[in-house]
Structure 1
Amino acid sequence: MNPDRSAIEVRGAREHNLQDVSVTLPWGRLICMTGVSGSGKSSLAFDTLFAEGQRRYIESLSAYARQFLTQVSKPDVDGITGLSPSVAIQQKTSGWNPRSTVGTITQAHDFLRVLFARIGESRCPKCDRPIRAQSRDQMLARLLPWGEGAAVLVMAPIARKRKGEFRDVFDDLRRQGFARARVDGAVVSLSDPPKLAKNQRHDVDVVIDRLTIREDARMRLAEAIEHALRIGQGTLVVHRSEEGRGGADAGGAGNDLILSSEYSCATCGISLEAPTPQTLSFNSPQGMCPRCDGLGRSFDFDPDLLVPDPDKSFLDGAVEPMRGPIGRWRRHIFRSVAQHVGFDLKAKWRDLSAAARNALLFGTGDAHLTFEWRTRGGVFRHGGTFDGVVADLMRSYRKATSAMVRSYYEKYMREQVCPQCRGARIGPQGAAIRLGGRTLPELCAMSVDQLAEFVDGLTLGATERTIAEQALRELRLRLRFLQDVGLNYLTLDRAAPTLSGGESQRIRLASQIGAGLTGVLYILDEPSIGLHPRDNRRLLDSLKRLRDQGNTVIVVEHDEETMRESDYLVDFGPGPGVRGGRVVASGGVDAVCASAESVTGAYLSGRRRIEVPKRRRPVERTGKIRSSRRTKT
């Protein structure tokens, strides 16, 4: 041990009620500061030792850096020697940043994001089909065993669920030399293409080649893949029939395999960026839910507030912000929605089905509706989707520039779980990625114990194990640290503002153990508070692990087990306030017990005890709590 670092010497400390305290604290030990409340423990630990450590650190920085930091005044002390950089882990909450969670504080969430981005299975956010970016060689290697001996059509997708007659498309394909296409599941000749309904949605694929997959057809298949990817802009479709070559020509019966050289879903027609850790971060614009900006909760219209009188019908103003007359144009839209879902707009709101209410308030999704506009000149039809009343109200609220108008709409709004991400905080692409069959929000909703068991049970291939090895090791370490400090029941998605002071402190303790720093003075404020006695042993083991890394650990404590397990005790007293502020005993447990002036020593030695009363006071009044649903309850 460095002789200059054998002890921390404090001379003449007079901060708050300290009465010219001088004390020697051995370096590299677990030190417990005890005494009655108000006797000066925290004044020496936090307001003297920690404050001086912070002040010295700030003074070591350049003048430019110091201008951005809060200046710390020098504590009232004659001198301190042997002091190292100090870290205080106090008994307080982690702040009120709604973006902080147990996972982000401990960095466990960061390593989960790395795992999902690197070895997770990407899926389409709409249809949930797997999305893989593959090289041409990988596609060939997959197709040979998949369709061995079968007749297949290699096709390039041209249109997916698009309206139109596609006559120009068919003419252009024929001029390029293609003879066949598959239209809505049927293979047709481009010399005599079908006449398609202009207002209906169609699927169109051009046939690149038809062949029977065999080993001797490898070169031909590779050329077909290359050509299909070029025409299909990175996507191809291979149709395999179970009925031989004739079945492949039929095109409608059999199996389709969709392959892509990009992260895109040929079925839904959406393209995605290759997943990165930022794709799964609710603190990054790339990954956060666009509706709630990654908070998991949004200020939205509440159906219960929108409909104060469910005995009214929709047309009679059941949705209060719309209680004025409904114009003819809007009426024909609502009438078409009612016909599509199957309900009566004149029925009482309470008599409508959940599907009907949801359609009126939140829309019909991607469903294509046909709206009928009746005039004296006849009936005119037009197609489209319906977003719902709430979407219209939200648009009006966001456009409002008047405080009075915004205040009017806010009467019908309240903070609630985001309806788009359902509290998951991340966007659709990140939420659709799976690892071991689970999504990131599902893993973050598990307790630490459950998540540790899931991680240990992951089955990975050789390549995946190599990629994930370091991230898995770091993740397991952080989960173990949380278990060691008695926080195995927490979930990684638990918001920091909902943590108790003791939980917050132990999370920071777990983070410091994981940091692996050495030569640091750690000061903790009652880390055992709120902890069940069965978990106290694990907490003490964590404190000793922090000490064994080459640090000095000072805890301000009232817990007997912590005192007895400490290497060194400093007892303050003999009383609180002006009657305290002195070190009445220091050393091992035996030294404190032998001190006649130490109140703590009297109880540790058994000279004094708190007797259990023979009779308890009778209970005269009680209180009841019903239906509590806050945080964990």
Structure 2
Amino acid sequence: MAGSGKSSLIHGYLPHWSDVIVADQSPIRGSRRSNPATYTGLLDAIRSAFAKANGVKPSLFNANSESACPNCNGVGVIYSDLVMMAGVPTVCEECDGKRFKAEVLAYTLHGKNIAEVLALTVADAHEFFTTGKARAVLSRLHEVGLEYLTLGQPLNTLSGGERQRLRLATSMTGTASVYVLDEPTTGLHLADVDRLLGLLDRLVEAGNSVIVIKHHQAVMAHAGWIIDLGPEAGQDGGTVVFEGTPAALCSSSDTLTAQHLRSYLGLARP
């Protein structure tokens, strides 16, 4: 139940745990130059691939260096200062939003320049890069349901759920033994929820513990263990009203969570 104290319970214990990765929906730190490619480290692999293919240095493909368009300084847009209002962005007329100098854009990898590669979606980039670190990072982004994002999309345009899944994809190669996900299905289509559950299964099969803070019926039905807080929300929440398997919740409890889960599974009231 929303507001019953789920997040407070888990986050209250986090300081006592070690080797924990928390994927929540808080803003990801970074400037408007930051994007999925920079956040995940994918851009390093892309730069190296361009450098190797063209016999030049990887730093040439850095929009924060002297390779950047001098008109927009590698941002791709020009911000008009409206004093009392937020700046209004317009596409840079000199680079047409591509962020790099023309001479940098002359270098290509499999027929695409660096701006064209950064404009690819994760799904298209997954087909473009068939081996190496780039492929591995793109596979993780695909697994968490972010295949529609473009590699160069500014991070400040991502939703809370997208930021959380981006964090999860980035942390999947870490050494943590416990993963905490706070509302990971926000904004997901049912098909993407199934994909996310499959990914969480693989994390568990690899020997990790996965804690999901959620009242989504599909997630609860898939869980190995449920801690149900209630009996209501707000002032009437914060009490553990059930602890056990989803099957036990449906067969032996009549909490609001149990009622909704039984309805979702098409089970009769015990």
TM range (shorter): 0.7 to 0.9
**1:537 corresponding residue in structure 2:** 194
Q: Distance in 1 between matches of 2:58 and 2:203?
A: 30
1:79-158 maps to which residues of 2 (within 5 A)? 83-95=17-29, 97-119=31-53, 121=54
**Alignment partner of 1:415: what SS?**
strand
Choose the corresponding residue for 1:277, options 58, 81, 88.
58
Choose the corresponding residue for 2:93, options 419, 437, 452.
419
Q: Distance in 2 between matches of 1:415 and 1:455?
A: 32
User: CA separation of 1:450/1:608 partners in 2, compared to 1, >3 Å: closer, same or farther?
Assistant: closer
Q: Which amino acid counterpart does residue 49 of structure 1 have in structure 2?
A: Y
Q: Distance in 2 between matches of 1:588 and 1:576?
A: 22
Is the contact made by 2:19 and 2:175 (CA closer than 8 Å) also made in structure 1?
A: no
Unaligned runs of 5+ in 1: 1-35, 54-82, 122-273, 302-406, 408-412, 457-471, 610-633
**Alignment partner of 2:21: what SS?**
strand
Please state if 1:442 is matched with 2:116. Answer: yes
TM-score relative to the length of structure 2:
0.88
Q: Distance in 2 between matches of 1:275 and 1:281?
A: 12
Q: Distance in 2 between matches of 1:414 and 1:534?
A: 37
Q: Distance in 2 between matches of 1:45 and 1:109?
A: 34
**1:257 corresponding residue in structure 2:** none
User: How far does residue 528 in structure 1 lie from its aligned partner after superposition?
Assistant: 0.7
Q: Distance in 2 between matches of 1:607 and 1:89?
A: 27
Q: Distance in 1 between matches of 2:204 and 2:114?
A: 35
User: How far does residue 95 in structure 1 lie from its aligned partner after superposition?
Assistant: 4.4
**Alignment partner of 2:129: what SS?**
helix
Q: Which amino acid counterpart does residue 486 of structure 1 have in structure 2?
A: G
Task: State the aligned residue count.
Answer: 263
**Alignment partner of 1:287: what SS?**
coil
User: How far does residue 608 in structure 1 lie from its aligned partner after superposition?
Assistant: 11
Is the contact made by 1:518 and 1:550 (CA closer than 8 Å) also made in structure 2?
A: no
Q: Distance in 2 between matches of 1:608 and 1:109?
A: 44
Please state if 1:558 is matched with 2:215. Answer: yes
User: How far does residue 298 in structure 1 lie from its aligned partner after superposition?
Assistant: 1.7
Is the contact made by 2:2 and 2:233 (CA closer than 8 Å) also made in structure 1?
A: yes
Is the contact made by 1:518 and 1:549 (CA closer than 8 Å) also made in structure 2?
A: no
**2:71 corresponding residue in structure 1:** 291
* Bigger share in strand: 1
**Alignment partner of 2:48: what SS?**
helix
Q: Which amino acid counterpart does residue 592 of structure 1 have in structure 2?
A: L
**2:164 corresponding residue in structure 1:** 505
Is the contact made by 2:20 and 2:176 (CA closer than 8 Å) also made in structure 1?
A: no
Is the contact made by 2:203 and 2:210 (CA closer than 8 Å) also made in structure 1?
A: yes
* Bigger share in helix: 2
User: CA separation of 1:512/1:96 partners in 2, compared to 1, >3 Å: closer, same or farther?
Assistant: closer
Which deviations, in whole Å up to 9, do the C-alpha atoms of 1:419-439 show, x marking residues without a partner?
A: 222222233343221011111
Which deviations, in whole Å up to 9, do the C-alpha atoms of 1:219-263 show, x marking residues without a partner?
A: xxxxxxxxxxxxxxxxxxxxxxxxxxxxxxxxxxxxxxxxxxxxx
**Alignment partner of 2:220: what SS?**
helix
Q: Distance in 2 between matches of 1:608 and 1:422?
A: 52
User: CA separation of 1:586/1:414 partners in 2, compared to 1, >3 Å: closer, same or farther?
Assistant: closer
Query: Which one has the largest radius of gyration?
Result: 1
Q: Distance in 1 between matches of 2:244 and 2:262?
A: 15
Is the contact made by 2:37 and 2:152 (CA closer than 8 Å) also made in structure 1?
A: yes
CA RMSD of aligned residues (A): 2.5
Please state if 1:49 is matched with 2:23. Answer: no
**Alignment partner of 1:575: what SS?**
coil
User: CA separation of 1:423/1:528 partners in 2, compared to 1, >3 Å: closer, same or farther?
Assistant: same
Please state if 1:37 is matched with 2:7. Answer: no
Q: Distance in 1 between matches of 2:222 and 2:142?
A: 20
Please state if 1:488 is matched with 2:162. Answer: no
Q: Which amino acid counterpart does residue 113 of structure 1 have in structure 2?
A: R
Q: Distance in 1 between matches of 2:59 and 2:206?
A: 33
Q: Distance in 1 between matches of 2:248 and 2:132?
A: 43
User: How far does residue 486 in structure 1 lie from its aligned partner after superposition?
Assistant: 1.3
